[in-house]
């Protein structure tokens, strides 16, 4: 799943474009040992006449607030990273669907947990990337692992260490024969997938867990809410019970990597007709129209690369 078969020729590392082989980090990089990094996942999509980065500024704003939660002070601002992102795609000459991974990490400064005064390194990597899920609709299981909470690892920060929780849930789901896991929050309400938010649909109303259900505030989630409202659907952000997953008419994951992915089975219960439902189909099409530049209303969400 989502394999990068060849590294890109160039990356952006601490302020300039470098050949892949020259962007090296020490084995004692703090983030490698303790997960002290924050990152983003962004996509660029070809339109009729360009390659456009989707909601780049919103992703970089989230990168900076993730960094703030962990006291990581970057030597760069949002504008620098916007330019860096454009440069790294241009230097590799990518013209097709591209995934972009900016990462801010605590570098090498010692071996203890106190990273005061350690270097804060910043890299931006871009790779060609088509689909995250290789199936058109997924089967999911509710994980036996609970989602991290604000009392321990704040889910609102997109921090590297948080993904140990996602990795446990993902590995369990795959080993149990499913495509993806759904995590419950510490109270037992539905939170999200391992790397994507979730919506369910009941009687033509779309429901998605709120900020206090230990979710990452997804940019695709926000996009989906706006597009569903444009399509005249009612959208409700509220706690979702586990059993509501089983009796909903439709369910879908949404995220930068996952885009809009229908969920057709949860815990061996068929969802709705067992096929992609009408609302999910509509929102997926509306989403692709926006990211691929066919909906002029949201042209301001696209940053042209060339």
Ligand X SMILES: Cc1ncc(COP(=O)(O)O)c(C=O)c1O
With residue 193 as reference, give the H or E element that holds it.
Answer: strand 190-193
* Cβ closest to ligand X, residue 92 vs residue 256: 256
Asked if 93 and 110 touch (Cβ cutoff 8 Å), the reply is no
Is 158 labeled as catalytic in the residue annotation? yes
* Cβ closest to ligand X, residue 185 vs residue 196: 196
Residues near ligand X (CB under 6 A): 41, 166, 192, 195-197, 216, 218-221, 255-256
Minimum distance between the CB of residue 134 and ligand X, rounded to whole angstroms? 18
CA distances from 29 to 48, 51, 96, 117, 128 (A): 42, 34, 33, 14, 27
Minimum distance between the CB of residue 224 and ligand X, rounded to whole angstroms? 9
How many angstroms separate the CA atoms of 66 and 68, rounded? 5
Minimum distance between the CB of residue 208 and ligand X, rounded to whole angstroms? 11
* Cβ closest to ligand X, residue 32 vs residue 217: 217
With residue 10 as reference, give the H or E element that holds it.
Answer: strand 10-13
Minimum distance between the CB of residue 167 and ligand X, rounded to whole angstroms? 11
Asked if 287 and 227 touch (Cβ cutoff 8 Å), the reply is yes
Nearest of 131, 117, 170 to residue 147 by alpha carbon: 170
Four-CA torsion 187, 191, 193, 196, nearest 10 degrees: -160
> Which candidate in 158, 226, 229, 296 is catalytic?
158
CA 18, distance to chain mean position in Å, is: 26
* Cβ closest to ligand X, residue 41 vs residue 293: 41
**In 3-state terms, what secondary structure has residue 200?**
strand
Catalytic positions are 158
């Amino acid at each position: 799943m989502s394999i990068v078969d060849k590294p890109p020729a160039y990356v952006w590392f601490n302020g300039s474009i470098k050949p892949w082989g020259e962007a090296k980090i020490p084995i004692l990089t703090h983030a490698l040992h303790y997960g002290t990094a924050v990152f983003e996942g962004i996509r660029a999509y070809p339109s009729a006449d360009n390659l456009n980065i989707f909601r780049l500024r919103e992703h970089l704003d989230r990168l900076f607030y993730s960094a703030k939660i962990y006291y990581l002070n970057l030597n760069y601002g949002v504008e620098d990273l916007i330019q860096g992102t454009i440069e790294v795609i241009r230097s590799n000459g990518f013209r097709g669907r591209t995934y972009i991974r900016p990462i801010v990490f605590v570098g090498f400064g010692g071996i203890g947990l106190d990273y005061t005064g350690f270097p804060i390194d910043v890299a931006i990597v871009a790779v060609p990337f088509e689909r995250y899920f290789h199936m058109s609709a997924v089967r999911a299981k509710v994980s036996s692992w609970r989602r991290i909470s604000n009392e321990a690892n704040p889910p609102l920060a997109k921090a590297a260490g948080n993904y140990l929780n996602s990795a446990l849930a993902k590995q369990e789901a795959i080993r149990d024969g499913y495509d993806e896991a759904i995590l419950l929050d510490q109270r037992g309400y539905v939170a999200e997938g391992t790397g994507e938010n979730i919506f369910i649909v009941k009687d033509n109303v779309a429901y998605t867990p709120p900020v206090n259900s230990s979710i990452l505030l997804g940019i695709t989630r926000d996009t989906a809410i706006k597009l569903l409202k444009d399509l005249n659907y009612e959208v409700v952000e509220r706690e979702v019970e586990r059993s509501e997953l089983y009796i909903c008419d439709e369910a879908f994951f949404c995220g930068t990597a996952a885009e809009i992915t229908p969920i057709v089975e949860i815990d061996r219960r068929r969802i709705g007709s067992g096929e992609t439902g009408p609302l999910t189909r509509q929102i997926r099409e509306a989403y692709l129209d926006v990211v691929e530049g066919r909906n002029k209303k949201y042209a301001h969400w696209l940053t042209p690369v060339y």
